[in-house]
Chains A and B, each alone.
Chain A
Amino acid sequence: MPYTANKPEPATREQLQARIPGWGVDLDPSDRPSVPREHFDPNGTGAHWEFPERQPEHEPRERSIEHKFLTPVFGTSVPLRGVSGAIRRYAYRYSEARAAHWLLLLAGDRVNAWEAHLGSIAKGRPDNPITETGVRTELRHGLIARVGRKRADVNHQWIDPIVVAGPWVLAGVGAVAAVRALRRRGR
């Protein structure tokens, strides 16, 4: 008990070694690869340059304003495009210290998903909510995994379908209402 000076005795080395394969192989901190945290070894990484050659920048790329310059190497997965691209570009005016930076990026992400869904319809390869969400796996495994189990996540999993389908339902309702209103005005 912490109310007195000593802790309960742990199991002995022999007991632990008998029960646990590899017990104590890294007992000595100097055997642990990330100890000490910083270990200066400039020749140990395989790099044969002092500063990397610069990757060509084919189109202007956003960067954190906390960087002095564009890093010599960067990712080119999805360049900024469309409305979401404009929102994200604006977000990069703020440093990583500012909530505005991250909240604008999240807003850009939500807009981007809409752009993609509408674009997929226009391109004739519409998003398929059944295959893309993998919900078919629920048919075989959904009940067994949840019924009678003490899982803490079942109390919020019902929100997921609303997150995924809710905006579509709302947009659908909105579209129907708009069409009706136009018809009424036309009459």
Chain B
Amino acid sequence: MRAMVYRGPYKVRVEEKDRPGIEHPNDAIVRVQLAAICGSDLHLYHGMMPDTRVGMTFGHEFIGVVEEVGSSVERLQVGDRVMVPANIYCGSCFYCTRGLYSNCHNVNANATAVGALYGYSHTAGGYDGGQAEYVRVPFADVGPTVIPDWMDDEDAVLLTDATATGYFGAQLGDIAEGDTVVVFGAGPVGLFAAKSAWFMGAGRVIVIDHLDYRLEKARTFAHAETYNFTEYDDIVVHLKRITDWFGADVAIDAAGAEADGNFIQHVTGTKLKLQGGSPVALNWAIDSVRKGATISVMGAYGPIFSAVKFGDAMNKGLTLRMNQAPMKRQWPRLFEHIQAGHLKPSDIVTHRIPLEHIADGYHLFSAKLDNCIKPLVVVGD
């Protein structure tokens, strides 16, 4: 089969690879039709995630057709069209039975701190991902869901991560009616978080980034008030100034490990790998919110220590909430929002790249060229 393969930092190619087979009775093999590249994939692509092995296929956002099922699979049949949540999880461990699907304890042999995701290094379990013609889907009775007839494929593929993560991020903010919410990062996760903040009753939603074309999307898609942080000497002070010197009630970090805005943090975090990531946006969140605020961290960070301003967080009595999103837990309610017309995930898609050209897609998305916000990967014909 054809599959995207990692060749080392900043290098990927499409190769001929063996088709995956059933390895466990509850596995399914899915023939992928549509996949996507996520901001998280960029951390792997840049060589930041420890134990990212050459030869791995990335991709944790994908939909497709069930091609084969293992002997214990009860809920799926060959031919079903399914959306597969980014998390791999067993459905039966202590965490899964409490809804913490992204923290499953039965699927990641390589790390106990990290759950399992498709195509996300061995630190996240060592599973190949969906930027390929076929993918092994463990626990076929637990994760995959048949795509409802009314749903568009592009909406379905975004629900497998980006949309669900943004929505989850807004929930971790514990937003109360009238709250001012500031979102750092106008990528897919930030856009969906900003949009979702209104569902939870925000009175004001502010989005911060340095890419004007993304801030424009934040205004049109997420109805947000936006600021380009490069235009301000100190974005923290600016945020105080525009909130009557309070700061926001809730902040959402949707930038993550590769945040810009501080050269030293960025270079030590992403180029030299001396930190688990560059916590520039997180530190801005900590310093800019009001005392007693809640910060929801959706941006991903590596497992090594990062230079986070913990003292300020402590002195201000902040609540920090965070997790990898449990995607499927968000679906029933998100399906309702899509059907009601409150939300159209595919509005943020900018590129549809054939699998054979995926290396170009990675560079476009990574270097933020051609006004790229969300690139999809077209696998089927």
Among the stretches B28-36, B49-57, B155-163, B306-314, the one at the interface with A is B49-57
Q: Mark B342-369, 1 if CB is under 8 A from A, else 0.
A: 1100000000000000011111100111
Structural contact, B97 and A99, CB atoms closer than 8 A:
no
Determine whether the beta carbon of B342 is less than 8 Å from that of A21: yes
A21 B341 Cβ-Cβ under 8 A: yes
**Smallest CB-CB separation from B52: which chain A residue?**
A109
Q: A152 and B230: CB pair below 8 A? A: yes
Q: Which of A53, A66, A129, A153 contacts B210 (CB 8 A)?
A: A153
Is A59 part of the contact surface with B, judged by Cβ < 8 Å? no
Q: Is A67 an interface residue (CB 8 A)?
A: yes
Is B122 interfacial (CB-CB < 8 Å)? yes
Q: How far is the CA of A3 from the CA of B116 in the complex (A)?
A: 47
A27 touches B125 (CB 8 A): no
Mask for A56-93, Cβ within 8 A of B = 1, else 0?
A: 10000111101100111111111000001000100110
| Interface stretch (choices B60-68, B182-190, B265-273) | B265-273
- The answer to whether B110 touches A64, judged by C-beta atoms less than 8 angstroms apart, is yes
Given contact pairs A131-B13, A132-B11, A77 touches B55 in the complex (Cβ within 8 A)? yes
The answer to whether A156 and B199 have CB atoms under 8 Å apart is: no
Closest to A43 in B: B97
List residues of chain B with CB within 8 A of the CB of A66: 111-112
Contact yes or no, B51 A50, CB < 8 A: no
Quick check: A10 and B203 within 8 Å, CB to CB? yes
Question: What chain A residues lie within 8 Å of B53 (beta carbons)?
Answer: 77-78, 84, 109, 112
- Residues 194-234 of B, flagged 1 when their CB comes within 8 A of A and 0 if not, give 00101111011000001110000000000100001111000
Once the chains bind, are A38 and B100 in contact (CB under 8 Å)? yes
Identify A50's interface contact among B92, B267, B326, CB under 8 A. B92
* CB of A187 within 8 Å of the partner chain: no
Determine if A75 and B125 form an interchain contact, defined as CB atoms under 8 angstroms apart: yes
CB contact list, A25-65 vs B, under 8 A:
25-27, 29, 31-35, 37-42, 45-53, 55-56, 61-64
Q: A22-B337, A145-B369 are in contact. Are A113 and B230 (CB under 8 A)?
A: no
B23 at the interface (CB under 8 A from A): yes
**On chain B, which size bracket covers the interface?**
35 or more
- Interface class of chain B by DSSP: loop
Please give, as numbers and ranges, the residues of chain A lying within 8 Å of B244 by CB-CB distance.
Answer: 1, 7-8
B290 touches A2 (CB 8 A): yes
Shortest CB distance A117–B (Å)? 7
Cβ distance A5 to chain B, nearest Cβ, rounded Å: 12
Tell me the bound Cα distance from A78 to B11 in angstroms.
17
Assembly CA distance A11 to B177 (angstroms)? 10
Contact residues in A for B370 (Cβ distance below 8 Å): 137, 140-141, 145
Q: State A106–B72 Cα separation when bound (angstroms).
A: 38
Neighbour of A116 across the interface among B8, B203, B332, CB < 8 A: B8
Q: Is the CB of B203 within 8 A of A152?
A: no
Q: With A26-B333, A34-B329, A42-B92 in contact, is A150–B109 under 8 Å at CB?
A: no
> Contact: B364 with A52, CB < 8 Å?
no
Taking CB atoms, residues of chain B closer than 8 Å to A128 are 13
Which of B57, B290, B303, B361 neighbours the largest number of chain A CB atoms within 10 Å of its CB?
B303
Question: B9 within 8 Å of A by Cβ?
Answer: yes
Contacts of A96 in B (CB 8 A): 111-113, 303
| B198 & A16 in contact (Cβ 8 Å cutoff) | yes
Q: Decide: B92 and A38 in contact? CB cutoff 8 A.
A: no
Contact B23 A76 (CB under 8 A): yes
CA gap between A71 and B101 in the complex, in Å: 16
A40–B94 alpha-carbon span in the complex (Å): 9
A149 at the interface (CB under 8 A from B): yes
Question: Could you list 28 A-B pairs, sorted by A, with CB under 8 Å?
Answer: A2-B245, A22-B340, A23-B201, A27-B200, A34-B329, A37-B100, A41-B98, A47-B96, A47-B139, A52-B24, A52-B90, A66-B111, A67-B112, A71-B107, A73-B138, A75-B127, A75-B128, A92-B110, A102-B302, A105-B50, A105-B123, A109-B51, A116-B55, A129-B11, A141-B364, A145-B367, A149-B212, A153-B368
Known: A25-B199, A163-B10. 9 other contacts (CB 8 A): A21-B342, A34-B172, A71-B105, A71-B107, A72-B90, A74-B108, A74-B109, A77-B126, A157-B367
